């Protein structure tokens, strides 16, 4: 069964946040700079506490490659972990490649595609990929995706 509220975070210079609530019928995603994104994470964790499942994309620093903005992702992950722990939320993580199961066509069919906001799209992809991996899709979400697949 889908958790009461799910928040997925795509950390970085711009941090994408995607929420799903009301038994999977309400969805919102957008992206913000560090401080405002952190405020949204804190507000969500404080508001919903243990009813919130919060996931974030992990970030791996690769030796020998330029990582000029790695600190943005690493710091936001720390913010997520701190508030999730403080407010007793369920905490999840996912590797970047895990989101690829959720395609643009799927997000568009669900109305979860946020034009021009790559980080919000990534957060939505992670959320849908997690729902699919965990068998957490609601009948309504599954029906939309099934219909979309038939129309391809």
Residue-wise pLDDT for 138-152, tens only, equals 889 999 999 888 876
pTM of the model: 0.92
Q: Mind listing the domains of the chain with CATH numbers? A: 5-150 (3.30.420.10)
- Tell me which residue has tokens 């849908």: 128
pLDDT at res. 64? 66
Who has greater pLDDT, 57 or 46?
46
Contacts of 95 (CB under 8 A, 6+ apart): 57, 58
Question: Mean of the per-residue pLDDT values for the chain?
Answer: 91
Q: What is the rounded CA–CA span in Å between residue 26 and residue 30? A: 14
């Amino acid at each position: 069964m889908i958790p009461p509220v799910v928040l997925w975070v795509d950390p970085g210079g711009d941090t994408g946040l995607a929420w799903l609530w009301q038994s999977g019928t309400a969805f919102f995603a957008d992206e913000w700079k560090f401080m405002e994104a952190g405020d949204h994470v804190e507000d969500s964790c404080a508001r919903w506490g243990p009813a919130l499942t919060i996931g974030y994309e992990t970030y791996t620093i690769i030796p020998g490659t330029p990582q000029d903005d790695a600190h943005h992702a690493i710091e936001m992950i720390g913010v997520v972990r701190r508030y999730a722990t403080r407010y007793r939320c369920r905490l999840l993580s996912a590797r970047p490649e895990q989101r690829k199961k959720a395609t643009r066509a799927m997000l568009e069919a669900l109305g979860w595609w946020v034009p021009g906001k790559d980080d919000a799209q990534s957060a939505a992809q992670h959320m849908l990929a997690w729902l699919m991996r965990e068998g957490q899709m609601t009948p309504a979400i599954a029906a939309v995706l099934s219909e979309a697949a038939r129309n391809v």
